[in-house]
Chain A
Amino acid sequence: MTGIGWPLVDVASRLLAPDEREAVRGDLVEAGESAWKGLCDVLGLVVRRQVGLWKNWRPWIATFGVALPCTLLLMGFSLTVSRIYQLYAWIIGNQQFIDPKLLKEVGLPVAPGVAQLVGYLFLLIGRSWIGGFVVGSMSRRTVWVSAAFSFSACLFCLAEFRAASLSRFCLLLFLAPAMWGVRRGLQISRIKLRSAIVLAAGVTVLTVATSNRRGLSIPSLELSWPAWYLVATAQRPNWLLRRS
């Protein structure tokens, strides 16, 4: 087992389930196949397994119903949070030169503005974590496809970003809580009902509280439904299971 072929077979076979990896690698050794033929065999099995996974609805919803749209919307939301932060940081920094009455007249009073910023910040963290958790838990074995689509969307938006006063990395404020959510989703797959209800209620209350007078927008709803999906799929307590 020398050369680059067998290490590649090892890497490719990591995409298989542990038992299957063990059996396949053993079969290749026993059959005495060449590394390249073995690599083709392993990749063929990996492709078949992945195609098999996509016959289910879960990877489709996780990738195209949550990961991709939420990435785009959360980048927009990250930008909104960054702009509000920039605005109030400037106002607070120059407060001694600005008449408070003027700020009130133009609809930029400091205290409510900062409160809105804090609300947006919590909402951004909550939505990002929940979106990541749903992607990670809904379809674990295809999570890398969801990640690839989200990563591509991020790269595209970073490349197209044209705001001189803000760093393009403002778009990625959602990334850390989202990755944390994905990690937890892969680890535990379902959270307790009580935690799910608290999260969903928190996100919904913050969404309503920070929404403008025109009411809830479609982006807000798209970013809120994963929270209620968490409630629907949460781990039910024993007393509730016994009753049903």
Chain B
Amino acid sequence: MLGEFEYLLITAAARLGDDAYGAAIREEIEATTGRRCSIGALYTTVDRLETKGLFETWMGDATPQRGGRAKRMVRVTRKGMEAAKNFYDAVTRVSRGVSWAANRAGILL
């Protein structure tokens, strides 16, 4: 089973699609959760997900807005999508009937 932060990373990367790379994923997570995402947490988790076969990463092209430095591009694998779906299903099931999820049942299900 995925950890919470792993799920956030996979979801952010899946949402960004072909534009998923370190800084963009970080911005996405910070914007949606309102929490700071450190570079250390981001890259060590990306590595862990890659080791588990849930992510594929490669070095992209260098761009001027990054001072001529390359991006580490990220793609969610089929296995990664499956793991994220399982996590989401588990969270949805375990949240049924609890007060904080009651008003959102329609959204969650």
Selected from A19, A22, A44, the residue in CB contact (under 8 A) with B39 is A44
Q: Could you show 23 A-B contacts with beta carbons less than 8 Å apart?
A: A19-B59, A19-B72, A22-B59, A23-B21, A23-B59, A23-B71, A24-B43, A26-B23, A26-B62, A26-B63, A26-B67, A27-B66, A29-B67, A30-B66, A31-B23, A31-B26, A41-B38, A41-B39, A42-B39, A47-B40, A48-B40, A49-B44, A52-B44
Smallest CB-CB separation from B59: which chain A residue?
A19
Near A by CB (< 8 A), chain B positions 1-45 give: 21-23, 26-27, 38-41, 43-44
| Beta-carbon contacts under 8 Å, A22-43 to B | 22-31, 41-42
* Contacting residue for B66 out of A29, A42, A45, CB 8 A: A29
Task: Check B91 for interface membership: any CB of A closer than 8 A.
Answer: no
Determine whether the beta carbon of B39 is less than 8 Å from that of A26: no
B22 touches A23 (CB 8 A): yes
**Given contacts A19-B59, A31-B23, A44-B38, A26 and B43 within 8 Å (CB-CB):** no
- Rounded to whole angstroms, the CA-CA distance of A26 and B63 in the bound complex is 9
For the complex, give the distance between the alpha carbons of A191 and B65 in Å: 45
Other than A26-B69, A31-B27, A45-B40, give 11 A-B pairs with Cβ distance below 8 A. Answer: A22-B69, A22-B70, A24-B22, A26-B62, A26-B70, A27-B71, A29-B66, A29-B69, A30-B66, A44-B39, A48-B44
Nearest Cβ in chain B — how far from A239, in angstroms? 35
A30, B65: Cβ atoms closer than 8 Å: yes
A29 to B38, CA, bound (A): 15
- A222 lies within 8 A of chain B by Cβ: no
* 7 closest Cβ pairs, A-B complex: A26-B69, A44-B40, A26-B66, A23-B72, A45-B40, A27-B23, A41-B39
| Residue ranges of B at the interface with A (Cβ–Cβ < 8 Å) | 21-23, 26-27, 38-41, 43-44, 59, 62-63, 65-67, 69-72
A44–chain B nearest beta-carbon distance, Å: 4
Whole-angstrom distance between the alpha carbons of A19 and B71 in the complex? 9
Rounded to whole Å, the gap between the CB of B9 and the closest CB of chain A is 14
Cβ–Cβ < 8 Å partners of A42 in chain B: 39
A19 and chain B: residue at smallest CB distance = B59
Residue of B nearest to A21 (CB): B69
A27 to chain B: which residues have CB within 8 Å?
22-23, 26, 39, 66, 71
Q: Are A41 and B69 in contact (CB under 8 A)?
A: no
Question: Contacts A19-B59, A31-B23, A31-B26: A25 and B40 contacting too (C-beta < 8 A)?
Answer: no
Q: Chain B contacts of A22 at CB under 8 A?
A: 59, 69-70
A46 to B21, CA, bound (A): 20
State which of B27, B38, B70 has its C-beta within 8 Å of the C-beta of A23: B70
Residues of B within 8 A of A45 (CB): 38-40, 43-44
Collect the chain B residues with CB atoms within 8 Å of residue A26's CB: 22-23, 62-63, 66-67, 69-71
Q: Which residue of A lies closest to B64 (CB)?
A: A29
**A25 adjacent to B69 (CB under 8 Å):** yes
Q: In the complex, how many angstroms separate the beta carbon of A13 from the nearest chain B beta carbon?
A: 10
CA distance A46 to B65 in the complex (A): 24
Q: Which residues of A contact B38 (CB under 8 A)?
A: 41, 44-45
